[in-house]
Amino acid sequence: SSSEADEMAAALEAELNDFM
């Protein structure tokens, strides 16, 4: 679903924020 995709994108961006 698109809400799951949104959640995954948010989780991925959170992971990357530490790095960026």
User: Least distance to other proteins from the beta carbon of 11, Å?
Assistant: 5
User: Least distance to other proteins from the beta carbon of 8, Å?
Assistant: 5
Listing DSSP states for 1-20 in one string gives -HHHHHHHHHHHHHHHHTT-
- What whole-number distance in Å separates Cα of residue 7 and Cα of residue 12? 9
Binding mask 1-20 toward other proteins (x if CB under 8 A, else -) reads ---xxxxxx-xxx-xx--xx
Size of interface with other proteins, in residues (CB under 8 A): 13
For binding to other proteins (CB under 8 A), which residues are involved?
4-9, 11-13, 15-16, 19-20
